Amino acid sequence: MSAPREILLAHRQERDELLQKSYIPREGLKNARDGLKHNLVQVVTGPRRSGKSVFCLELLGDTPFAYVNFDDERIVQLTDYDDLIAAIREVYGPNQIFLFDEIQNLARWELFVNRLQRKGIKLILTGSNSRLLSRELATHLTGRHLAHRILPFSFREYLQANNVAFTTTPQLKEHQGDLRHHLEKYQQCGGYPEIVVRGIEPKSYLKTLFESILFTDIVKRYNVRYPQKLYDLATYLFTHHASEFSYTALRKFLAFRSVHTVEKYVGFLEEAFLLLKVGRFSFAPKERVKSPKKGYGIDTGMIEAVKFKTSPDSGRLMENTVALELYRKEVDFYSYKTRTGKEVDFVIKEGPRVTGLIQVCYDLSVTKTRDREVKALVEGMEELQGRHGVVLTWDEEGEQNVSGKHLSFIPLWKWLLGKSAP
């Protein structure tokens, strides 16, 4: 029995075991299934353990397919890819659909994929490195692939996984209280499927996953010279999530040798889907590049597991949740600072126009806090000519006209369960 065949037989058993299980339907399946009708490579990216493989299984349904897991070190050591194709045919028969898991681990994978695609084989690829995949696909498969991004469960998916019935207009206050209870738990534990579905204790699982991504997907892949510095940077950004940072300030505070190294390491965290970096909005491209950025963790549960915590920070967790939902929905969004220095959490842009602004605040019961948040939002709307102003709160709902601007106050749970943002 050949070595590739032995490995693929194990992968087939893994596939068959996965196919026997039931899963929570993931958002975006319909669009992905529409893409299967065409001879385009389907590329599914996202953080490790976020459910990319399961998404692909749901996508394929009962369609026969060959499965190869490139997280298996025995496969990535192969140098003759014709042997791999022959072993796939031997184990799976004449399938015309291949699912390649974590394809970025295979050397020169883009050339291999290009060759198979030219032969008419339908390919579904998963990967946990955004830049590696997008760069190589843009070079070798321009216009011949569709991309899908899978993140840990959304709040809607979290409720479905927990068999919680929901509507955006619950009539009973006790039902609204139930939804706020689940939202608080969702923010504390996060949306990683193994925690939500299997009930694994979140803190140790997520801290181990965080460190595994750092030292396996980043340090080993990029031969990072200062792994402790990378760890310090990542934990600092998670501790100060939903806060602005500059590369110069990070260099000084964390004692890096150069700003270039800091910028490079932040890029690694982004590529590995640990960090979401959001720029400050300006109509001037130069200002957008030069301005400080905001950093958000890819999962609020992972933030809670990793950060150095001294006090509750419900407002920042809410803001991080909103950032992830906008990212999940592939909205073009930024932070903003008005001419007088007031901060607006999110600016939504469609094409050349700013269409909406969002402020996030846990509690507006204190007059000083309410005035600060509302004034910043109204000022931002005036400067950017934004048409919609939304204040996301924990439990307040209503409408208000301020200085000729119409503002909507929406509980976060209701906004998350809505069909569109914002």
Half-sphere exposure of 233 (CA within 13 A, CB side): 30
Residue 8, domain member (yes or no): yes
Q: How confident is the model at residue 2 (pLDDT cuts 50, 70, 90)?
A: low
Q: What is the mean pLDDT of residues 220-236?
A: 96
Tell me the average pLDDT of the chain.
92
Residue 209, domain member (yes or no): no
Residue 216, domain member (yes or no): no
Write the single-letter amino acid at 52. K
Q: Which of 58-72, 121-135, 172-186, 231-245 has the lowest mean pLDDT?
A: 121-135
The predicted structure's pLDDT at residue 1: 41
pLDDT in tens, 16-47: 999 999 899 999 898 888 877 777 889 999 99
pLDDT in tens, 358-386: 999 999 999 999 999 999 999 999 999 98
Q: Which of 24-33, 132-141, 173-182 has the lowest mean pLDDT?
A: 132-141
Domain span at residue 41? 3-149
**Full 3-state SS string of 181-241:** HHHHHHHHHCCCHHHHHHCCCHHHHHHHHHHHHHHHHHHHHHCCCCHHHHHHHHHHHHHCC
Q: How confident is the model at residue 305 (pLDDT cuts 50, 70, 90)?
A: very high
Q: What is the pTM of this model?
A: 0.94
The predicted structure's pLDDT at residue 143: 62
The CATH number of the domain holding residue 78 is 3.40.50.300
Residue 253, domain member (yes or no): no
Residue 103, domain member (yes or no): yes
More confident residue, 165 or 57: 57
List the beta bridge partners of residue 249. Answer: none
Half-sphere exposure of 223 (CA within 13 A, CB side): 0
The predicted structure's pLDDT at residue 133: 66
Q: What is the mean pLDDT of residues 382-404?
A: 95
Kindly state the helix (H) or strand (E) to which residue 420 belongs, with its residue range.
none
Residue 231, domain member (yes or no): no
Could you give the number of structural domains in the chain? Answer: 1
